[in-house]
């Protein structure tokens, strides 16, 4: 199943049982990229056996949080909900290649994609056999209605809208309420939509300006009050053109998917029902051992450590599109302007202070010891881990642990210990406390990790304290970080990265996902360059991405903490499973086969 082009909200799943002290080594190098994870994994398993018809596949989602029930494949907000939706839709309606770029003119896709660079037009053609789960045909009107919902100026809480959609003619005007229609989106016929772009960039092939899943137009029309958006039928009982449709839910706990009888490839569906349920991190190892589930994706290091010797299944691993990071609050999002505005008086406004925060952390030791060798130190911006084979740069900027360099940078920035208490005052001689927001993810590492980070910064004289003196509930963290709570100066977060490498969606001036609220002339220039037509030359494209990666690392609006190995549990009753193909290729879950009525124990 291809990775989503949209960026997901994810929890930082952290597992270990110790607080790290200062490291004895004191490397001064700022290059020589990331180490690889110490643990090695197989990527596929062949269990064999005879197929049992009509057995229900059971999937677990490891999380301390309930499912929110926003069953919207375009506007979902939580990774847990997406873990359900990805199976309902079958992934992207548009086919992608091994570099995650759209495949042109594929008649087998749910929606066929074609880019005409000369006319600056993208044509989206709905497969003639594609139907909603109520039997109605999917039409051009559904695609257009989804775009109009995306740009609707009344949908003020919509975090999916970003400036890359303004490449489409008329989208900006529509989003600002200056036009009643999107001039650059037209219905050519009942099955065909034409998108007219202001300019054509290579990022379009990765999804810039392109929605690759769509909603039912009639369900969209029923939305009249965006203050009650989550309650709309579009989100609670969505129609599906994918292999499955939501049949039953147990509030916050589980979802039963049943086969969409109108799915255009229904003859290929071998799994008729999928039960998806949440699994407490503390209980996950026992759940696997007891045969309660067949598949569990996104395993943490702790679950791997406690489950790797179970005999009734196999743990597979691949490089993940994931990064965890420490972000600095450097401004606010101006709702009226619709963009981030940098605060020159932010506590970490000085680039040297942010670099010192980075040098003070022994990330290699944190990732090796806390994560049991599953995670490894990220380099550059952190946005291009090894899974992004085309752009990943093993020689990118790395803030290797260097206490002396951190202290020197703080001295240069005027942060000095004036009163001799071991903590530095700022350049004005004022006491400065950095309030740190870090989540309670339900793992036993949460508090030790927070303590380790805070102690590392204290060792170079930085006074960092937890917001409200404690770990934050995940919902509270999300609300307060998104709202630019003035009591938050730095925060720890994580992103499940999109297959589109364009950083605009996370770092663009207009993106509400730019939680740092940071922009700069250089980074804006770098991101604009990525969107120029000359970037259709792959060599120039890679060079430009790596230049952005380096410049971002130098300005360090966030500290990339770690990349990780993506791990999955596969029960022995799953006949064959290729994790690489499932994650980055073309192995849909509905084609799996089961060899017994219940999972192996």
The residue to which tokens 């009982």 are assigned: 237
Q: Which two tokens stand for residue 409?
A: 């940078």
| DSSP run (H or E) holding 192 | strand 192-196
pLDDT score of 514:
96
Burial of residue 546, with CB atoms counted within 10 A of its CB: 0-12 exposed, 13-18 middle, 19 or more buried: middle
pLDDT at residue 35 in the model = 56
The pLDDT of residue 38: 58
Task: Report yes or no: 60 and 77 within 8 Å, Cβ to Cβ.
Answer: no
Tell me if residue 41 falls in helix, strand or coil: coil
Predicted pLDDT of residue 36: 66
Mean pLDDT, the chain cut into blocks of 10 residues (601 residues total): 40 28 34 57 94 96 92 92 94 90 96 97 98 98 98 93 92 97 98 96 90 97 95 96 97 96 97 97 96 94 92 95 96 94 98 98 90 88 92 92 98 97 96 97 86 97 98 94 97 89 90 95 93 88 95 98 95 97 91 97 96
**Tally of CB atoms within 10 A around 465:** 13
Contact (CB, 8 A) for 466 and 29: no
- Say if residues 274 and 257 touch (Cβ distance below 8 Å): yes
112, 140, 200, 426, 509 from 127: Cα distances, Å: 7, 11, 25, 61, 36
Q: pLDDT value at position 39?
A: 66
Per-residue CA distances from 206 to 78, 263, 476, 502, 560 (Å): 22, 26, 33, 8, 23
pLDDT value, residue 8: 36
**C-alpha triplet 209, 212, 217: angle, nearest 5°:** 100
* Burial status of residue 421 (CB atoms within 10 A of its CB: 0-12, 13-18, 19 or more): exposed
**Contact indicator for 101, 535 with CB cutoff of 8 Å:** no
Q: Which helix (H) or strand (E) holds 278?
A: strand 273-279
């Amino acid at each position: 199943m291809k990775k989503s082009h949209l960026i997901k909200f994810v929890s930082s799943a952290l597992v270990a049982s110790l607080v790290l002290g200062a490291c004895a080594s004191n490397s001064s190098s700022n290059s020589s990229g990331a180490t690889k994870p110490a643990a090695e994994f197989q990527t596929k398993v062949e269990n064999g056996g005879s197929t049992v018809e009509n057995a229900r596949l059971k999937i677990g989602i490891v999380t301390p949080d309930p499912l929110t029930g926003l069953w919207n494949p375009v506007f979902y907000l939580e990774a847990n909900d997406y873990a359900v939706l990805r199976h309902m839709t079958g992934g992207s309606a548009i086919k992608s290649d091994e570099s995650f770029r759209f495949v042109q003119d594929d008649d087998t896709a749910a929606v066929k994609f074609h880019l005409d660079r000369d006319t600056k037009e993208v044509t989206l053609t709905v497969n003639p056999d594609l139907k909603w789960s109520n039997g109605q045909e999917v039409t051009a009107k559904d695609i257009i209605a989804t775009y109009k919902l995306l740009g609707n100026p009344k949908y003020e809480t919509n975090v999916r809208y970003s400036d890359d959609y303004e490449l489409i003619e008329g989208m900006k005007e529509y989003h600002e309420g200056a036009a009643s229609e999107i001039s650059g989106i037209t219905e050519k016929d009942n099955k065909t939509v034409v998108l007219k772009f202001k300019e054509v960039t290579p990022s379009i092939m990765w999804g810039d300006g392109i929605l690759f899943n769509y909603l039912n137009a009639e369900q969209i029309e029923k939305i009249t009050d965006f203050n009650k958006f989550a309650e709309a039928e579009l989100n609670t009982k969505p129609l599906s053109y994918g292999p499955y449709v939501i049949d039953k839910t147990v509030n916050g706990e589980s979802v039963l998917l049943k086969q969409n009888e109108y799915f255009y490839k229904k003859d290929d569906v071998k799994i008729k029902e999928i039960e998806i349920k949440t699994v407490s991190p503390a209980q996950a190892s026992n759940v696997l051992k007891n045969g309660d589930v067949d598949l569990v994706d996104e395993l943490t290091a702790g679950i791997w450590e406690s489950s790797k010797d179970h005999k009734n299944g196999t743990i597979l691993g691949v490089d993940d599109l994931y990064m965890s990071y420490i972000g600095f609050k450097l401004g606010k999002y101006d709702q009226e302007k619709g963009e981030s505005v940098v605060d020159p008086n932010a506590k970490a406004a000085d680039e040297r202070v942010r670099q010192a925060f980075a040098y003070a952390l022994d990330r290699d030791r944190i990732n090796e010891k806390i994560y049991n060798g599953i995670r490894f130190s990220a380099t550059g911006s952190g946005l291009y881990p090894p899974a992004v084979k085309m752009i990943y740069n093993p020689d990118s900027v790395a803030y290797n642990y260097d206490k002396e360099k951190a202290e020197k940078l703080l001295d240069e920035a005027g942060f000095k210990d004036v009163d001799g208490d071991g903590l530095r005052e700022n350049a004005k001689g004022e006491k400065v406390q950095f309030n740190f927001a870090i989540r309670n993810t339900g793992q036993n590492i949460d508090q030790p990790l927070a303590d380790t980070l805070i102690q590392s910064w204290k060792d170079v004289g930085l006074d960092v304290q937890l917001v409200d003196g404690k770990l934050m509930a995940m919902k509270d963290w999300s609300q307060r970080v998104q709202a630019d709570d003035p009591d938050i100066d730095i925060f720890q977060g994580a992103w499940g990265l999109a297959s589109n490498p364009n950083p605009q969606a996370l770092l663009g001036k207009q993106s509400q996902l730019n939680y740092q609220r940071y922009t700069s002339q250089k980074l804006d220039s770098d991101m604009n360059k990525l969107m120029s037509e000359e970037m259709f030359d792959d060599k120039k494209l890679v060079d430009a991405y790596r230049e952005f990666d380096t410049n971002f690392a130098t300005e360090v609006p966030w500290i990339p903490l770690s990349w990780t190995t993506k791990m999955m549990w596969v029960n022995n009753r799953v006949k064959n499973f290729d994790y690489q193909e499932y994650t980055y290729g073309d192995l849909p879950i509905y084609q799996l086969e089961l060899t017994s009525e219940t999972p192996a124990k």
